[in-house]
Structure 1
Amino acid sequence: MEEPKKNKEQEEPQAEKAAEAENRSTSENELEALRAEYEQLRVQSAEYLDSLQRERASFANYRRRVDQENLQIYDIALGDLIKIFLPVVDDLELALKQKPQITEVDPWYEGIALTLQKLHKTLESKGVQKLDVKPGDEFDPAIHEAVTHEDHPDFSGGQVVEVLQNGYKLNDRIIRPALVRVAK
């Protein structure tokens, strides 16, 4: 009876060792599977991060483009609106030039001058500037519109002889060129 007891005692440590080896093998397999899953998730996470960063950059570019387009639309609309008022400015300036010779201060004349001054300040506050054009300047088709070409003894060919109507620009964009007479 002692022999079966010894076999049993010898078999138990071997069974434990086998179970331990099997557990170790299973643990290593699980660990390897977890490492592979971790690596796969790390790669997927990096791809998602890259995709997110690209989308953010794309959205920022879109936003900047839309803001720029809105600003351009605003400038065009403002320029169109201002063009409507320029003939009024021209008429007021013409009225002031045609002032009859009066020795006393005329309230009508002063009222026209103040109205024109307010209108100029309002236009300037929106970025409108009168083009600086004067006789003797070289003709520039970007800012001048020639009404006539004529021989003139005091000016050489291509020079502005007279400014018939002032030109204006809104910020850096010409909204109305100056009407001029040009020497041949």
Structure 2
Amino acid sequence: MSEEKVAEEIQEDAADVEAADNGQAVAESVEDVTEQVLPTLEEQLAAAEAEAADFKDRWMRSQAEFANARKRMEKQRLDTYTNATASVIEKLLPVVDDFERAMESLPEDIREHSWLEGIQLVQRKLSATLENFNVTAIEAIGEPFDPNLHEAITQEPTDEFESGAVCRVLQTGYKIGDRVIRPSLVVVAA
């Protein structure tokens, strides 16, 4: 072999060794970049779990908001129904008052007429209708004066009731459940 051929072979072997070193260096460089850029499986799992927890939290919040909105709408619907009922009942109360006054002031000679039974039946039906709507009269006589339930017209001295108690009712008050439709007009003991 000639010297030139040996030199060529050495150069080729050196080039092969250098290429192998460069290949290994490139592979190591690719691994370093891959480790830096691509997260590990544990990191990917942790990120997915965090994202799932965030989605679950958002879903639970939206469910709670929806339930609260439904409750608000139901309460608003019930309030609207109660307001409408109270408005209609308030317009019927003067009729109830008229029936009460008429029955209280009947002359004795009329009390035995048969047509009076028909009028009393109408009054009872009206009272039953009010009861069906949960309308009750406000009890006042002997009770302590309550500005939420009573409207005082005057005071009068009396020995029958203690001071500050309702001694007479001039107009009956009514309420639906706990809501006052009309306060009782009362006279308070002095």
Which is worse superposed, 145-154 or 59-68?
A: 145-154
Percent pairwise identity: 39
Aligned residues of 1:148 and 1:182 also touching (Cα < 8 A): yes
2:157 aligns with 151
Name the aligned partner's letter for residue 163 of structure 2: G
Cα distance change of structure 1 residues 34 and 138 upon mapping to structure 2, 3 Å threshold? closer
Name the aligned partner's letter for residue 66 of structure 1: M
Residues 116-136 of structure 1, C-alpha deviations (whole Å, 9 max, x = no match): 1111111111111111222x3
How far did residue 176 of structure 1 move?
Answer: 0.9
1:96 aligns with 103
Cα distance change of structure 1 residues 71 and 103 upon mapping to structure 2, 3 Å threshold? closer
1:79 aligns with 86
Name the aligned partner's letter for residue 148 of structure 1: T
Tell me which of 163, 167, 174 is aligned to 2:180: 174
Instruction: Give the TM-score normalised by the residue count of structure 1.
Output: 0.75
Tell me which of 168, 175, 185 is aligned to 1:162: 168
2:133 aligns with 126
Cα distance change of structure 1 residues 153 and 101 upon mapping to structure 2, 3 Å threshold? same
Q: Distance in 2 between matches of 1:64 and 1:104?
A: 53
Q: Distance in 2 between matches of 1:35 and 1:155?
A: 84
Q: Distance in 2 between matches of 1:173 and 1:154?
A: 30
Q: Distance in 1 between matches of 2:113 and 2:43?
A: 95
Structure 2 unaligned blocks of 5 or more: 1-22
Aligned residues of 1:127 and 1:170 also touching (Cα < 8 A): yes
* 1:101-116 pair list within 5 angstroms: 101-102=108-109, 105-116=112-123
Q: Secondary structure at the match of 1:145?
A: strand
Q: Secondary structure at the match of 1:132?
A: coil
Aligned residues of 1:152 and 1:183 also touching (Cα < 8 A): yes
1:47 aligns with 54
Q: Secondary structure at the match of 1:141?
A: coil
Aligned residues of 1:96 and 1:109 also touching (Cα < 8 A): no
> What is the RMSD computed on CA atoms of the aligned residues?
2.8
Which is worse superposed, 101-110 or 59-68?
A: 101-110
Instruction: Give the TM-score normalised by the residue count of structure 2.
Output: 0.73
Name the aligned partner's letter for residue 162 of structure 1: R
Bigger Rg over Cα: 2
Q: Distance in 1 between matches of 2:186 and 2:46?
A: 76
Residues 20-57 of structure 1, C-alpha deviations (whole Å, 9 max, x = no match): xx7xx98x97x965554444333222211111111111
